[in-house]
Structure 1
């Protein structure tokens, strides 16, 4: 217990348990997203060349920075979150579809959490937006596995089911992101419900609220 306490960061003193959970959830979701990006580049090795990169690692690095620093991508016409996601999954898109797809989901996650990746007591997160982000990822995952170009080929190769075997690791990793978002939604709902109940109880019992 003492060892765990000593490993804490100073900023954690300004986080409730829900704030800490939201921060860790965002960290893990972004890591899952970057893992998916690397896997998509392996399955679609021609994509990173579309934006002039010399290797997939350079492309992935710039996409990560754009997400975490909330920078727009000129190659996407400065589109973000849902607008970028719709564009990245459209047959009209020309460019690195892997980078555009991952950037779009990453920027959507940050937007749904109020534009932050770390959370403190003074921050608020709308549970409905977090839940909506989970549903959007479910839809995007399905679209990723179904959308085809004019030539009849999938826009991006991800999950694979064939006579040689199955690779459903993409669906599994996206499922982890959705599960974390749904759990956070429930925690946020309970947090705000308790705040309301505590206030209602104080009125019912005619207790004055503490001021210090």
Structure 2
């Protein structure tokens, strides 16, 4: 029993006369403590696919992380377009159409012509220049996604024959941190922010952009650390096999 429950019981029991004025607050408190928690969803796995037969646990982990990171970038794109509607009008007749165009370019590894066919960090740098005149939201999301995919060897799905360079993945996380800082601090030629993203002010607070970007950086760091540890443990396991070999020989039984 919590202290609040105990106080309510003590108030109701001590003293002979019943006190309605105190009973109602206690009943409301008890009802609040016993209410059903809000449903925040549950973890659900994907349906089985034949491609998983050629994936190790680490391949599957990297594939899922890449999928979720790209989904997070597309969520960020939608948030940026909503706060910067003048940007999607440079690409399409509607926000939904602009999102679709960028998604196709990212997933099919098509060049984005406003970025002068640049890729990877070169495209990211151009998208964040103060004098960039194209759809900055599309350019930023496309460049960030292309840089991230490049750090994974140019792949979005991984099998037993694929390997990851953990340092490249780690560098991608740092690049996104730098890009996020530039987006929040650098000004366009007219003195305004490059893009309206986070909101901190007396009229409201909106940090959903920052939280979604943080998820991407966290996943990249986890994949980098996990891949490094997997390679390290493989070397240790090989050494353990060499050391334990002489002691693990079968003995004659007749």
Number of the residue aligned with 2:85: 45
Matched, 1:183 2:213: no
Distance 1:180 1:81 in 2: 19
Distance 2:66 2:46 in 1: 23
Matches within 5 A, 1:1-212: 7-51=47-91, 53-206=92-245
Contact kept? 2:88, 2:95, Cα under 8 Å = yes
Per-residue CA distance 1:26-72 (angstroms, 9 max, x = gap): 00000000000000000000001223x11111111111111111111
Q: How far is 1:81 from its partner?
A: 1.5
- Specify which structure has the bigger relative contact order, considering alpha-carbon pairs within 8 angstroms and separated by 6 or more residues: 1
Number of the residue aligned with 2:19: none
The TM-score normalised by the length of structure 2 is 0.76
Which has the higher Rg, Structure 1 or Structure 2?
2
The TM-score normalised by the length of structure 1 is 0.91
Extract unaligned runs of 5+ from structure 1.
208-212
Distance 1:99 1:131 in 2: 24
Q: How far is 1:206 from its partner?
A: 4.9
Describe the SS at the equivalent of 2:89: helix
Extract unaligned runs of 5+ from structure 2.
1-43, 247-254
Aligned pairs, number: 203
C-alpha RMSD of the superposition: 1.7
Contact kept? 2:90, 2:135, Cα under 8 Å = yes
Per-residue CA distance 1:124-167 (angstroms, 9 max, x = gap): 01000110001111111111111101221101100011111111
